[in-house]
Amino acid sequence: MEVPILKQGHYLIASIQSALTDADLSHLREALIERVGRFRARGVIVDVTALDVMDSFAVRTLRDIAHMARLRGAETVIVGIQPEVAFAMVQLGLTLKGVSTALDLEEGLAFLNMQTQVRIERGGPGRIDRG
């Protein structure tokens, strides 16, 4: 199943609606990384609220998305991990190290706003400091 990727301001939002196959996940990763460049996105939100199972491939793909997006200049946040899923993940040792997480979409947006705010305050996007 194709995962819809929405553009909202400076952010891309990928909302996973149902269980995904490994191929779907890989496709999502490629689509997101490509669009980060195309839309010059500052942040990526992956919403996994609908997932009640998360296997090691899914976790690795999410981690890869976060790291790749960071290389392309966008901060990633994973939102909506269910309590049971979180518990199962840590028991399996899949802890998404180095990846930001938030409770839900609202929290994720707040988090990204805060992150980009810091950058804007430091000089704004694309502004060349003339010293």
Partner 1 sequence: MATKGKDAQSPLTDPQAQTESTAALLRELVAHLRQNRTQLREEWARRITRAQLLTAMTEEEIFAEATSVYDNYVEALETGTFEALQAYARNLSERIIPRGVETHEVVGIVLLLRDVLARSLFGKYHEDFDKLNRILDAYEPAANRIANTVAVGFVQERERIIRQQQEAIRELSTPVLQVRERLLILPIIGVIDPQRARQLTEQLLRAIRTNRAKVVVIDITGVAAMDSNVANHLVQTVEASRLLGATVIVTGLSPEIAQTLVTIGVDLSEMATVGDLQGGIEEAERLLGYKVLPLEEVTPKA
Tell me which residues touch partner 1 (CB under 8 A).
Answer: 78-79, 81, 83-87, 89-91, 95-96, 101-103, 107-108, 111
Residue 75 in tokens = 């901060």
State the minimum distance, in angstroms, from the CB of residue 31 to partner 1: 24
- For partner 1, the closer of residues 14 and 94 by Cβ is 94
Q: How far is the CB of 47 from partner 1 (least distance, A)?
A: 12
Between 1 and 57, CB nearer to partner 1: 57
Closest approach, Cβ 94 to partner 1, in A, equals 9
Phi, psi (degrees; rounded to nearest 5) at 47: -95, 115
Integer Cα distance of 19 and 107 in angstroms: 23
Closer Cβ to partner 1, 26 or 100, answer by number: 100
Distances (CA, A) of 14 to 46, 119, 125, 129: 5, 23, 23, 34
CB 96 within 8 A of CB 71: no
Which sign, positive or negative, has the C-alpha torsion 64, 69, 74, 78? negative
User: Which lies closer to partner 1 via its Cβ, residue 93 or residue 126?
Assistant: 93
| Shortest distance, position 88 Cβ to partner 1, whole Å | 9
